[in-house]
Amino acid sequence: MNKEMIIVIDFGGQYNQLVARRVRECNVYCEIYSYKTPIEQIKAMNPKGIILTGGPNSVYEAGAPTCGPELFEIGVPVLGLCYGAQLMQFVLGGKVEKAPVREYGKTVTNFDLSNELFDGIPEQSIVWMSHNDYISESAPGFKSIAHTADCPFAALATDDERPLYAIQFHPEVLHSEYGKEVLFNFVRKICATEGSWRMDSFVESTIAEVREKVGDGKVLLALSGGVDSSVLAALLAKAIGKQLTCVFVDHGLLRKNEGDEVEGVFGKNGEFDINFIRVNAQERYYAKLAGVTEPEAKRKIIGEEFIRVFEEEAKKIGAVDFLAQGTIYPDVVESGLGGESAVIKSHHNVGGLPDFVDFKDIVEPLRNLFKDEVRKVGLELGLPEYLVFRQPFPGPGLGIRIIGEVTADKVRIVQDADWIYRSEVDAAAKTYKEANGKEPDWMPNQYFAALTNMRSVGVMGDERTYDYAVAVRAVKTIDFMTAEAAQIPFEVLQTVMSRVINEVKGVNRVFYDLTSKPPGTIEFE
């Protein structure tokens, strides 16, 4: 257990993981727990502070998530956010009612700068509000330290020695202009933490822990080439070297050159001294996918075939002592093992271990890290940036970026189009950054090409064509739960269009997908 820890208690809020990430950005370790966690367990963890998240309920409703007053008597600072703020007031004797004016979105807020929570921020700034209820009467012993035009208690603090704070807005989201500063003040100043949670120390201590756990045992890892599995492979390589065997199944549905890039880093000519097995199963996958057009059917075939290939390789290797998994903290939370807003999905990395591998135990050294922390570990371990900052990629790969049947020729088309598109976006962003000293505002968080199942007539030279249309997608998003189409400069899109049509055989149209999420998804299938 880390020396310093902040506990986030989840009441079903959509931003629970974001709260924990913001705490860790203050270099303080943080974990998420359900509001149902026994108070004795919370005390035993000896947290430096506690944060209560938002939630979709009304605190005065029967059956709403709640807590007892003893949570506020542990003696450590407690910060309630939105629902957590209302719950704190409700439990301690305040009054919460339906708001006469619902506040949602960016809201001008006035702050009492004499309170340490708002140290270093302006007297007035924009925050993100999202509530139908409001605190109409504060609990005994509390005073207002922030207000808006419609909310007299935008923030509350005790006027005695109890370190209790209630904030009606969401400081964890980027829309709150000085939200990070508010959380920093709570986590580092009010909770008196040192801020020793850093990735260099994590790498050092985790390598030692892995060596102690594994001893002289053998470890098997299914290496996909994604960020999580690649960082895991590099970490285990540093810890146990040749005791690690990585099986990389190239199903032929990766992005252009990715298979060779993965082998270049982890294969015999790479810098990591491990046992690396590459299985070139492209033709096997194409045969299985022939004639299949339904998205879920394709997903199922790709997933099952991976298991079959990995099973065959595992049998050749024989018994191992440990199976390594690239589980990261969002997997744990979303699988219902962490917070309350939980059970979103049953993730393949948590539970459901393959029974065809003969192993004694599992190794999950990245289990407590968020994705951005995993990337930092990757850089600390010396992985190349193109691998560490690889964009999100679906498990079934290009199989779900090809509408309709998957064939080798269609894979070639989407690989080449995608490579051109990403290259041009990257080049334009680099040029802008060199000229302006920062990334362009339009720079997307994810961008890729997909192959539609539409064919249409075109003219190239003096000849009539009947070829496919490629769709290019680029989105701006904070948390990938919602997304908007990125406003990539039109001249960049024109260059992409021209190059794709001229360089990729079988394409005569390029579309730009403007759909937001919702109603659409970021991926195509």
Which amino acid is residue 367, in one-letter code?
R
The predicted structure's pLDDT at residue 106: 87
Reading the block at residue 143, the tokens are 């005073």
| In contact, 112 and 145? CB cutoff 8 Å | yes
Tokens representing 288? 């299985």
Asked if the model's pLDDT at residue 19 lies above 80, the reply is yes
Residue 243 has pLDDT above 60, yes or no: yes
Q: pLDDT tens-digit profile of 194-210?
A: 998 888 889 999 999 99
Average pLDDT of the chain? 90
User: Is-catalytic flag, 172?
Assistant: yes
Find, among 169, 22, 196, the residue nearest to 106 by Cα: 169
Mean predicted confidence (pLDDT) in 409-419: 97
Q: What is the pLDDT of residues 210-226, one digit of tens each?
A: 999 999 999 999 998 88
Active-site entry in 30, 67, 82, 246: 82
Which pLDDT band holds residue 344 (cuts at 50, 70, 90)? very low
What is the predicted pLDDT for the residue at 519? 86
SS3 call for 238: helix
CA–CA separation, 434 and 426 (whole Å) = 12
**SS3 at position 61:** coil
Q: 41: number of CA atoms within 13 Å, CB side?
A: 9
pLDDT in tens, 108-152: 999 999 999 999 999 999 998 887 888 999 999 999 999 998 888
260 pLDDT higher than 60: yes
Q: Please confirm, yes or no, whether 191 is among the known catalytic residues.
A: no
Indicate whether 29 pLDDT > 60. Answer: yes
Helix (H, G, I), strand (E, B) or coil at 272: coil
Say which residues have a Cβ less than 8 Å from residue 521's Cβ, sequence separation at least 6.
none
* pLDDT at residue 329, rounded to an integer: 85
Residue 349's pLDDT band (cuts 50, 70, 90): very low
Decide if 497 contacts 510 (C-beta within 8 A): yes
Residues 69-86, mean pLDDT to the nearest whole number: 94
The predicted-structure confidence for 454-472, as pLDDT tens digits, reads as follows 988 887 766 778 899 999 9
Segment 147-192, tens digit of pLDDT: 998 888 999 999 888 899 999 999 998 888 999 999 999 999 999 9
pLDDT in tens, 246-258: 999 999 999 999 9
In this prediction, residues 497-522 reach a mean pLDDT of 93
Based on the residue annotation, tell me whether 347 is a catalytic residue of this protein.
no
| Residue 1 pLDDT exceeds 50 | no
pLDDT bin (cut points 50, 70, 90) of residue 342 is very low
From 31, 172, 334, 340, the catalytic residue: 172
Angle, in degrees to the nearest 10, between helices 295-317 and 282-289: 140
Instruction: Give pLDDT, residue 126.
Output: 92
Instruction: Return the percentage of the chain with pLDDT > 90, whole number.
Output: 69
Of 131, 170, 251, 347, catalytic: 170
HEC readout, 109-174: EEECCCCHHHCCCCCEEEEEEEEEEEEEECCCCEEEEEECCCCCCCEEEECCCCCEEEECCCCCCC
| pLDDT higher than 80, residue 363 | yes
Spatial separation of the C-alpha atoms in residues 95 and 136, rounded to whole Å = 6
The whole-model pTM stands at: 0.79
